[in-house]
Structure 1
């Protein structure tokens, strides 16, 4: 039954606007964070939840607060909980909301996502029971019982949530995605314009491809004094997971900025082929030297000194097939590798194998130390040189310093595979190729490793071996 009622304004007690985070996320209403995927929306909102769990929010709520997260896009075990840990959250104050559905005929039950407005009553009960002050929907469109592109369906789903925020003095944050193309930031939210109309605070997120910097602009604010933009960083934080240290993305260094997200998403995109070509030549030249891999941060710094933006470097990297990987050191580092290392440009008959000392191995989790040359030369005939050893051959300690590049090669955790292409020493101490028998000498450098192609058409490798002053190629 629906009963109309009329209430004189004189009987309604006024109250000032209150904030979960002052001038950013108001209480008693909905806020929206919108942007393309990977712009840091969810990570930033989880950072807000983590700060709230520690009682560190600058707003009208004093002390630690509980957050209820309604999420289907990210897995809780592999993504949500690790990100909360990276943000320093008190996990006892972060709550997951879902719905368990029972099948009467079979007696079975299974976990399903919340559906709005069907589950509003259950949501209200959970909020009251656990004294929740912040509710997050990520992404909000996934919970609509209807079409997120239709005004009536969006309002039917989230107007009850807005009423819930008013009744229970909550802050509610909706995560939304941008549609394709340029245009007004207010019109960029995917689906109906009701997404923007329903919220009182709307933050737009974007990354400047020219600088790699991340920004969030308050495109709509019905209650705050001023709008503004903030620059923030997405940093890696080491988090202990299942006995290992894993780097997890987190928010860092939030500072005011004059850059507006609208300027970024509507910026004309130049063709840039000439810049990419020139940058590509520079990048290959930079990588084509020992040890043929370098830290991403050093490459970007050197590239900028040459006049290349980070965005141009990334485009060149992709076009050239330059691979990247994360080191296993703590803190971990991203390195870019010469294309010949990963085999993206230079085809290899066989991936290089381990050095010859059978006592040497790389344990699981230990940073590997083997560097492979960027060049290989094919020669049909393999004539022994008869050279004798001038320096002592490498011992296990030296070989343990060598740098191994192939992350797929088995380590101790799987058991080390036998190496049919190892270099062997003869009774006189000469080091020779196990395929062609060429004798070589040890050059004394534990960091020099050459891979070579025998006349048999087989790929092999040996550490620090030289013939006539040049590293061994048979």
Structure 2
């Protein structure tokens, strides 16, 4: 009998030569693979920091935030190799599969895809399942995810699968963790096997404003636990301003967001649709970002004897500062997030962004005379017949990374 020694210093005995795999009993065992034999690979991003290939994502928000329209805007970027909301270029065009239990393909989904500028040849919309005899039945994500393997192969691979709503992939009780985990495992496996991002749309549970955004996703917390990234959307109650933020990420940063509005659009033959118009990047945690637009933050501060705008002006009087540093100084003096934002609006503070991903630095500075730093257009506009391409601009061309429209 031979004694072997592995790189960790452990010893084990080789089985006797008489024992072979052929005559071993069919008993399952744990397949423990030594880390040295596993090749490390980087996260394969679709939208760096936001959407990753081979991973499950949740997009959640209250009703009226335009989650489907928002996601269709991202689908347009994928199918045309366009620009992401933060200005980065999508590296290559990809295919997308959409399943929606709530929106009609002909009068809602396709018009929105056209309005967003998507390549319709790269988008497949699930409208049921069929057999060799031609029988047709509704597509059920809780049972039929396995049928999509052939679809993905026939399309030459897919970059994103949209499930609206994601709770439809759960056969049991969406409030029970075990049912959710069993139901979503097939979705997770599909994402890994086809190296596509899966984005499941969900809603916020009622009465959760002010709490951790990831914990506001309706149903069991297993939804947020299984998703590698949870994106959240919110709408300001007194304007069209909306925000998208990262509430949780196990594979990247969970800070920062981007502002957007949903605008009406008229496409060919006078068909009305909607599309997303992206604004600027936003600093802060998802809780801070959502708190700003949902208006659930305490307006008071420890000492009201000083005007927040005057305090911010003094902080920036000697020159530009990193936004996080300026915000930290303001909060150290007792000002709330909402007061800081309003002070920035009053002073028309300008921002400049450098670096990418985790190395991004946003600098605040006092504006130049006569500068125009409005983030949102004066109001929603309808576009003629065929919608013109959206002018995304660049981060350097934009002013505030958040400005409330009153």
1:25-64 correspondence to structure 2 within 5 Å:
25-57=51-83, 62-64=91-93
How far the C-alpha of 1:329 sits from its partner, in A, is: 10
**SS across alignment from 1:80:** helix
How far the C-alpha of 1:111 sits from its partner, in A, is: 3.1
Residue by residue over 1:65-113, the C-alpha shift from the partner in whole angstroms, topping out at 9 and shown as x without a partner, is 00011111111111000000000111110011243266x9xx8833302
Residue by residue over 1:349-378, the C-alpha shift from the partner in whole angstroms, topping out at 9 and shown as x without a partner, is xxxxxxxxxxxxxxxxxxxxxxxxxxxxxx
CA contact (8 A) 2:79 2:122 kept: yes
1:435-474 correspondence to structure 2 within 5 Å:
none
Q: 2:129 corresponds to which residue?
A: 100
CA contact (8 A) 1:19 1:60 kept: no
Aligned length: 269
How far the C-alpha of 1:200 sits from its partner, in A, is: 1.3
Q: 2:334 corresponds to which residue?
A: none
Q: 1:7 corresponds to which residue?
A: 33
Is 1:73 matched with 2:102? yes
Is 1:231 matched with 2:259? yes
Is 1:136 matched with 2:162? yes
Q: CA RMSD in A?
A: 2.9
Is 1:184 matched with 2:212? yes
CA contact (8 A) 2:266 2:273 kept: yes
How far the C-alpha of 1:125 sits from its partner, in A, is: 2.0
**SS across alignment from 1:132:** coil
**SS across alignment from 1:228:** strand
**SS across alignment from 1:56:** coil
How far the C-alpha of 1:253 sits from its partner, in A, is: 2.9
CA distance in 2, matches of 1:174, 1:92: 22
More helix by share: 2
CA contact (8 A) 1:185 1:204 kept: yes
Unaligned runs of 5+ residues in structure 2 are 1-25, 300-379, 386-406
**SS across alignment from 1:218:** strand
CA contact (8 A) 2:264 2:381 kept: no
Per the normalisation by structure 1, the TM-score is 0.52
Is 1:199 matched with 2:227? yes
**SS across alignment from 2:270:** strand
CA distance in 2, matches of 1:208, 1:188: 17
CA distance in 1, matches of 2:37, 2:383: 65
**SS across alignment from 1:82:** helix
Query: Aligned pair in 2 of structure 1 residues 31, 108: CA closer, same or farther (>3 Å)?
Result: closer
Query: Aligned pair in 2 of structure 1 residues 142, 329: CA closer, same or farther (>3 Å)?
Result: closer
CA contact (8 A) 1:22 1:60 kept: no
Query: Aligned pair in 2 of structure 1 residues 156, 262: CA closer, same or farther (>3 Å)?
Result: farther
Query: Aligned pair in 2 of structure 1 residues 159, 329: CA closer, same or farther (>3 Å)?
Result: closer
Q: 2:280 corresponds to which residue?
A: 255
CA distance in 2, matches of 1:124, 1:163: 11
Residue by residue over 1:310-345, the C-alpha shift from the partner in whole angstroms, topping out at 9 and shown as x without a partner, is xxxxxxxxxxxxxxxx999959xxxxxxxxxxxxxx
CA distance in 2, matches of 1:95, 1:39: 24
CA contact (8 A) 1:235 1:251 kept: yes
Query: Aligned pair in 2 of structure 1 residues 179, 329: CA closer, same or farther (>3 Å)?
Result: closer
Unaligned runs of 5+ residues in structure 1 are 271-325, 332-474
CA distance in 1, matches of 2:96, 2:40: 27
Q: 1:274 corresponds to which residue?
A: none
CA contact (8 A) 2:129 2:137 kept: yes
Which is bigger in relative contact order (C-alpha 8 A, separation at least 6)?
A: 2
Q: 1:84 corresponds to which residue?
A: 113
Query: Aligned pair in 2 of structure 1 residues 186, 91: CA closer, same or farther (>3 Å)?
Result: same
| TM superposition outliers: structure 1 runs of 4+ over 3 Å | 1-4, 57-62, 262-266, 326-331
**SS across alignment from 1:50:** helix
CA distance in 2, matches of 1:68, 1:2: 39
**SS across alignment from 1:52:** helix
Is 1:222 matched with 2:250? yes
CA distance in 2, matches of 1:251, 1:83: 9
**In structure 2, which of residues 36, 42, 48 is the aligned counterpart of residue 22 of structure 1?**
48
Is 1:153 matched with 2:176? no
How far the C-alpha of 1:150 sits from its partner, in A, is: 1.4
CA distance in 2, matches of 1:97, 1:328: 29
CA distance in 2, matches of 1:256, 1:328: 25
Per the normalisation by structure 2, the TM-score is 0.60
CA distance in 2, matches of 1:227, 1:88: 29
Query: Aligned pair in 2 of structure 1 residues 180, 329: CA closer, same or farther (>3 Å)?
Result: closer
How far the C-alpha of 1:34 sits from its partner, in A, is: 0.2
Q: 2:318 corresponds to which residue?
A: none
